[in-house]
Chain A
Amino acid sequence: MKRNGVQLILILLGAAFVFVMLILPLITVMTYALRQGWETFAEAITDDYAVKALKLTGFSTVITLAVNTAFGVFASWAIAKFAFRGKQVLTTLIDIPFSISPIIAGLIFILVFGRIGWAYPLTESLGVKVVFAVPGIVLATIFVTFPFISRELIPLMQAQGNEEEEAAALMGAKGLKIYRRITLPHIKWALLYGVILCTARAMGEFGAVSVVSGHLRGKTNTLPLHVEILFNEYKLTAAFAVSSILVVTAIIIMILRNIVEYKLKKEEG
């Protein structure tokens, strides 16, 4: 196909859109982060509160990944390998967190565990603080990313069918062995893909976490919340320096995602 004028205009138009809408914000983060030199940058990202926020973000991301991977594995097995009534309803229910505003995701945990919540007396008597504490942050993050992994696994496992697992079961293999030897090798890239998406969303979650966090510095501040506080205090350089950690992580995640997507396509096709 020879390139003509219309093609060139369309490509330039698309490239201009991507440059202004997507690339410029990234450049903004990096420029502002470094505008007062490396020393200020290093100071901002090694600040005590920033490090604590980073640790909390890491912690809640790891717990979220563990919970959602477990859910994804069990849910995809139940939904893809068996026929039962109400499957459509079940998959719709699993997708609920996708369609709900993060603010509402935070709100519902306040309604359960907050001072007016019905579970408040129970958690109080156990001496556990959920809202305005770390458990609330973790719960809200799990909620928001809940369907990420099951959603990647279910369509793939449905498309692959049950024949191999059935054969293995008929030959006497136990459930765990079937899963490890037959199912897992087929879905490993999809599982990894789901884990990557889940990581990106979990570490960046802002709305839901900001509702339940209470913004206690050094205690319930995640990295995105720390960025918000710095920005609202007009500490622009520090806000963008901390943001740059998240930007670099996001770019690494995008590259990993592309690699895994390529592997996935190769396996399917």
Chain B
Amino acid sequence: MPKRAMGTNTGRSIRRRRNQVIPGFGLSMGVTIFMLSLIVLIPLASVFVVLSGATPQEIWKAITDPQTVSTYKVSFACAGIASVVNVVFGILLAWIITRYKFPLRRVLDGLIELPFALPTAVAGISLTTLYSDKGWIGGFFAKFGVMISYTTIGITIAMIFIGIPFVVRSIQPVLEKLDPQYDEAASVLGASKARIFFKIIFPEITPAALTGFGLAFARAIGEYGSVVFIAGNIPWKTQITPLIIKSKLEQFNYTAATSIALVMIIFAFCVLFGINTLQARINRIAQG
């Protein structure tokens, strides 16, 4: 769209005439709006329908209930730490995949997608077993008195698992476009490796890294399947926000469940908006 919008009248009238040449606008638009409304918009609107039947006090009480607030803290803190870890390792992985040649590089690249392809419940039970005090990794740490499964550490690990592809796949295309000639030139001029990275490469990938951070963070906050098993769901300690929505629902407390859901939806939209703004900036840079 922006490429074509030349702003001149002739361009616009040509485009309008062109549009009438290709058939099927009415049909395809009709089907699109119909299906979108039926599957996404109308069901989503019921959040507001249900909440319109509740008083503002009820809603406020539900979203500021101390136990619910404790779940926000767990979800936010774990998602924050997990996303920071993912940015560090995401940059590292994107870097070695795009810049270095080593055996099994293609396999490593493909494996990054695993968290997208593996059903979350499978990831959940597998991580829980692996990090429990009898598991291969958890057993090792248990010797030092560090428990991983059923603690916030476990939740963070599950969130790292689910978030890593978002960061790697955000940064990879930027690194692929970045001409190695720049760092070669800097290297010839005598800059050290660390200096090259922080002065030349890091500023270029920052917007992409932030996008990856945002996507991974949003996913970690909303994630259920891979987190719920390892969390253990101990109230006040390892309960995550999606879980409290589910338990309110199981207690038939629809107002509370829907109110907390609304908080999460608003938060997700804020993150999405931030990412879209960043993405627009990245696209401007990429197009020069």
**What residues make up the interface of A, taking CB atoms closer than 8 Å to B?**
1, 3, 6-7, 10-11, 13-15, 17-18, 20-26, 28-29, 32, 67, 70-71, 74-75, 77-79, 81-84, 87, 90, 93-97, 99-104, 107-112, 116-118, 139, 142-143, 146, 158, 162, 165-166, 169-170, 174-175, 178, 197, 200-201, 203-207, 210-211, 223-225, 227-228, 231, 236, 239-240, 243, 246-247, 250-251, 253-255, 257-258
Contacts and interface: CB of A to CB of B under 8 A. Distances in A.
A206 B119 contact: yes
25 contacts: A14-B97, A14-B108, A24-B130, A25-B127, A26-B118, A71-B35, A75-B36, A97-B40, A99-B268, A107-B258, A107-B261, A111-B43, A111-B50, A112-B46, A175-B27, A197-B116, A203-B119, A204-B118, A205-B119, A211-B249, A223-B119, A231-B128, A231-B229, A250-B114, A254-B110
A243 B224 contact: no
B28 A100 contact: no
Nearest to B135: A28
A106 B114 CA distance: 24
B36 A94 contact: yes
Contact of B122 (A11, A81, A90, A204): A204
Given A96-B40, A139-B39, A258-B110, A14 B92 contact: yes
Interface string B258-276: 1001001100110110000
Contacts of B113: 254, 257
The contact size tier of chain B is 35 or more
Contacts of A75: 28, 31-32, 35-36
B202 interface: no
Contact of B121 (A93, A97, A224): A224
Contacts of A165: 22
B41 interface: yes
B1 interface: yes
Residue among A96, A109, A210, A257 facing the most chain B CB atoms (10 A cut-off): A96
A112 B43 contact: yes
Contacts of A17: 89, 92-93
B42 interface: yes
B111 A118 contact: no
A46 to B, nearest CB: 19
B125 A240 contact: yes
B224 to A, nearest CB: 3
A207 B120 contact: yes
A192 to B, nearest CB: 15
Contact of A246 (B32, B36, B119): B119
Interface stretch (B55-63, B143-151, B215-223): B215-223
A111 B160 contact: no
Given A11-B96, A14-B93, A25 B126 contact: yes
B18 interface: yes
Contacts of B268: 99-101
A170 B23 CA distance: 10
Contacts of B225: 102, 204, 206-207, 224
Given A207-B224, A243-B125, 12 more contacts: A10-B95, A17-B89, A24-B136, A71-B35, A83-B4, A83-B19, A90-B32, A101-B223, A101-B245, A101-B268, A204-B118, A254-B114
Contacts of B188: none
Nearest to A225: B121
A246 B95 CA distance: 31
A166 B15 CA distance: 11
Given A111-B254, A206-B120, A103 B50 contact: no
A-B pairs, top 3 by smallest CB distance, nearest first, are A204-B119, A101-B222, A207-B224
B39 A142 contact: yes
A26 to B, nearest CB: 8
Given A78-B25, A102-B225, A107-B245, A10 B122 contact: no
Contacts of A139: 39
Residue among B43, B116, B218 facing the most chain A CB atoms (10 A cut-off): B43
B47 interface: yes
A235 to B, nearest CB: 11
Contacts of B117: 200, 204, 250-251, 253-254, 257
B231 interface: no
B106 to A, nearest CB: 8
B7 interface: no
Contact of B111 (A13, A22, A74, A143): A22
B191 interface: no
Nearest to A15: B108
B175 interface: no
Nearest to B221: A101
A206 B96 contact: no
B67 interface: no
A61 to B, nearest CB: 11
A132 B117 CA distance: 26
A108 B36 contact: no
Residue among B22, B119, B193, B218 facing the most chain A CB atoms (10 A cut-off): B119
Contacts of B72: none
